[in-house]
Amino acid sequence: MSTDPIPHASGVRPNVIWFMVDQMRAQALSLAGDPNVHTPNLDRMARDGTWFTNACMGFPLCCPARGSMLSGQYPHRCVPGHEYRMPPAMTTVADPFNAAGYHSAWLGKWHLDGHHERHHRGAWHIVPPERRGRFRTWIGYDNNNSQFDCWVHGHDEDREVPLYRLPGHETDALTDLLLDQIDRHADQPFFLCCSVQPPHDPYSAPAAWAGRHNPAGLELRSNVPRGGACERQAREELSGYYALIEHIDHNVGRLLDHLQDRDLADRTYVIFVSDHGDHHGSHGHFKKMTPYEEAIRVPVLIWGGHRWHYRNQRRVTHPFNHVDLAPTTLGLCGLPIPDAMQGYDYSPVAQPCDPTNGQPRHLIDPPQEAYLQCVIPTGHGPSIDEPWRGIVTADGWKYVAVTDQPMLLFNLNEDPYEHCNLAWHAHARARRQELNQRLARWVQDTGDDFRLPAFRDDGRPQAIATLETRFAERWHKDG
């Protein structure tokens, strides 16, 4: 691959901005059909750009997902669990941008320094310069779960930034810092990351957004148990969750308008992404750490570049995963993708049409599955306290296994809310065996180490076959 970035038609290298949020599930967009939330600016990104409708985060937990997004490597090679440190020497997406002369900046939540909250509050933990991913500007915090009391520190190019408290609400303040970075570096190519903690709990939105949603009037997903504590908690939390999402949408609108006002929209790509989803009562679960749709599915939207003028929404159904973000970002700018990155470059579908024929660009041999993992469980609830591996397929199936045993099997085409688990259904035996074999290839090809279930040639679990043999021998002996 060429080491020179592909220039924009104007001769200027394209810019890229990540607007990253925490714990926003893919279903929580008005364009995705959620009747409880109004997201006109995120809808605008999807309408005028590229919307990955089946995107997921293969490890639905902050630290592993963020490590994979930055490094392009799977969690078992990067950040295997909660509060694990990303190796300081590991190549990050900032490195190729720095080498190509870009200004790189990280603003906001990091959560990759391995700080343990039980020692002291993560917002006051100072991340050493050598563990900031080599961004030229880094103004952030390792972790902070107080949206009106957000503290940041770091460096702004050669100037150290001592610990200070952001004014007002975190999402507003970090967006202000992002707009300032755009203005200060508009005369050079830039790669900027704005990482906000909302809509992660606590669900504390500014006054103008708080109280917009009546818990009793919310329309819950069909897989939320009704009539008890689970429903009550889901309604109460979702009212604040949706308020935070609408506030995020407001700030995304500020960003898009600012780029257009500065005549930067036609050479700047904006990527909106979340690190994982949130159950909010679906299947009786809350927060993340399961393979269910509400936890793994996230919004991934790419807007901008001179393609946005065409207003031609493109919906991509391939299973975009966390490891694909860095290669896709580099691909948008024509930069070389480091060999260590394990993800796929989806940038062709977010770029303008091929000038030779006017047709949309197409992907070459895209993945047919996204690889799902829980490498090291968090050990605290609510979560699944077992390692698991799985895949979601481009043709709408999901298969997940714990060690030696199938766990989940869903036909998402017919059962999008995952009401019927087919993992042990006899009529799904052939599909289960096929998907187990496909999952085994991912385990092997990614250098993972996980013991999957063993099946006989007829698709029956080897463990059950062994059990039947033991009982048959016993009955024969006793008879």
Q: Please write the tens of the pLDDT for every residue from 46-69.
A: 999 999 999 999 999 999 999 999
Kindly report the average pLDDT of the chain as a whole number: 92
CA distance 219 to 164: 40
For residue 119, the model assigns a pLDDT of 65
Q: Are residues 74 and 129 in the same domain?
A: yes
> Tokens for 253?
């609108």
Q: Are residues 313 and 269 in the same domain?
A: yes
Q: Are residues 239 and 93 in the same domain?
A: yes
Q: Of 466, 454, 350, which is closest to residue 404 (Cα–Cα)? A: 454
Q: Considering its fold, how many domains does the chain have in total? A: 2
Q: Please write the tens of the pLDDT for every residue from 122-163.
A: 788 999 999 999 999 999 999 999 999 999 999 999 999 999
Residue 1 in domain: no
Domain boundary among 304, 334, 350: 350
Instruction: Give the pLDDT band (50/70/90) at residue 11.
Output: low
Residue 8 in domain: no
Q: Are residues 250 and 122 in the same domain?
A: yes
Structural domain including 164 reads 15-350
Q: Are residues 330 and 424 in the same domain?
A: no
CB-based contacts of 30-33 (< 8 A; 24+ apart in sequence): 32/299
For residue 360, the model assigns a pLDDT of 74
Residue 93 in domain: yes
Q: Are residues 127 and 238 in the same domain?
A: yes
For residue 460, the model assigns a pLDDT of 75
Q: What is the CATH number of the domain that holds 460?
A: 3.30.1120.10
Q: Are residues 326 and 395 in the same domain?
A: no
Residue 359 in domain: no
Q: Are residues 250 and 394 in the same domain?
A: no
Q: Please write the tens of the pLDDT for every residue from 341-360.
A: 999 999 999 987 776 776 77
> Tokens for 140?
């952030």
Q: Are residues 262 and 409 in the same domain?
A: no
Cβ neighbours around 4 below 10 Å, total? 11
* Per-residue pLDDT at 311 exceeds 60: no
Domain boundary among 301, 330, 350: 350
> Tokens for 173?
């303040």
**3-state secondary structure (DSSP) of residue 194:** strand
* Per-residue pLDDT at 5 exceeds 50: no
**Cβ atoms of 277 and 57 closer than 8 Å:** yes
Q: What is the CATH number of the domain that holds 114?
A: 3.40.720.10
Q: What's the rounded mean pLDDT across residues 447-466?
A: 83
Domain boundary among 299, 333, 350: 350
pTM score above 0.85: yes
Q: Are residues 345 and 433 in the same domain?
A: no
Residue 394 in domain: yes
For residue 151, the model assigns a pLDDT of 97
Q: Which residue has the higher pLDDT, 316 or 385?
A: 316
Lowest mean pLDDT among 214-228, 298-312, 369-383: 298-312
Q: Are residues 212 and 341 in the same domain?
A: yes
Q: Please write the tens of the pLDDT for every residue from 402-445.
A: 999 999 999 999 999 999 999 999 999 999 999 999 999 999 99
Rounded to 10 degrees, what is the CA torsion of 424, 279, 25, 315? 30
